[in-house]
Structure 1
Amino acid sequence: MQFLRPLIFLITLGIAQSKADVDIPASTLSLPEVGFGDKTAPVKVVMYYSLTCHHCSEFKLDKLPAFKQKYIDTGKVYFVLKDFPTDEFSLKLSIICWAGRDVNKYLERSKLIIQNFNPDKVKTVAFDWVNADKPTEVIEKLLAPTGITPDMIQPLLDDRSLEDAILHDALITGHELGLNFAPGFTVNGKLVEMKDLDKAIDEAIKSVSTKTVS
Structure 2
Amino acid sequence: MVALRRAFKVALTRAGFAALLGLMSLHPTGGAMAQLATAALVAQPVSLPDMALGPADAPVTITEYSSMSCPHCATFGENVFPMLRAKYIDTGKVRFVFREFPLDIKAAAASMLARCAANGDAEKFFGTVQLLFQQQQMLMAQTNMTLRVIGKQAGMTEQAVETCGRDQTLLDKLAADQRFAHEVIKVESTPTFFVNGERLKGAMSFEELEEILKPLLKK
TM-score of the superposition, structure 2-length normalised? 0.70
Q: How many angstroms apart in 1 are the aligned matches of 2:163 and 2:147? A: 16
1:131 aligns with 2:148: no
Q: 1:170 maps to which residue?
A: 178
Seen in structure 2, the aligned counterparts of structure 1 residues 92 and 75 have a Cα distance that, compared at 3 Å, is same
Matched, 1:102 2:120: yes
Question: Which of residues 39, 61, 65 is equivalent to 1:44?
Answer: 61
1:106-185 aligned at under 5 Å gives the runs: 106-118=125-137, 128-132=138-142, 135-185=143-193
CA separation of 1:102 and 1:74: change in aligned 2, threshold 3 A: closer
> What is the count of residue pairs matched by the alignment?
181
Aligned counterparts of 1:155 and 1:16: Cα–Cα separation in 2: 35
Partner of 2:90: 73
The aligned counterpart of 1:53 is 70
1:18-33 alignment runs, 5 A limit: 30-33=47-50
Distance in 1 separating the partners of 2:19 and 2:133: 21
Q: TM-score, normalised on structure 1? A: 0.71
Contact preservation (8 Å) 2:147, 2:161: no
User: Counterpart of 2:171 in structure 1: which amino acid?
Assistant: E
Sequence identity, in percent?
26
Matched-pair contact (CA < 8 Å) for 2:113–2:147: no
Q: Considering only aligned residues, what root-mean-square deviation do their CA atoms show, in Å?
A: 2.9
Q: Is the 8 A contact 2:151 2:158 kept in 1?
A: no
Structure showing greater radius of gyration is: 1
Unaligned ranges ≥5, structure 1: 1-6, 20-28, 119-127, 210-214
1:7-31: per-residue Cα shift (whole Å, max 9, x none)? 8967633363499xxxxxxxxx954
- List 4+ stretches of structure 1 deviating above 4 A: 7-11
1:22 corresponds in structure 2 to: none
Over 3 Å counting, the alpha-carbon distance change for 1:38 and 1:14 in structure 2 is same
* Structure having the larger proportion of residues in helix: 2
TM-aligned CA deviation for residue 171 of structure 1 = 1.9
Equivalent residue runs for 1:184-203 within 5 Å: 184-193=192-201, 194-195=203-204, 197-203=209-215
The answer (yes or no) to whether the contact 2:106–2:139 under 8 Å persists in 1 is: no
87-96 vs 99-108, which moves further: 99-108
Contact 2:63 2:97 in 1 (8 A): yes
Q: Which amino acid aligns with 1:192?
A: L
Query: Aligned-pair distance for 1:33?
Result: 2.3
Deviations 1:34-57 (A, max 9, x none): 211121111111011111111111
1:157–1:139 distance in 2 versus 1, CA, 3 Å: closer
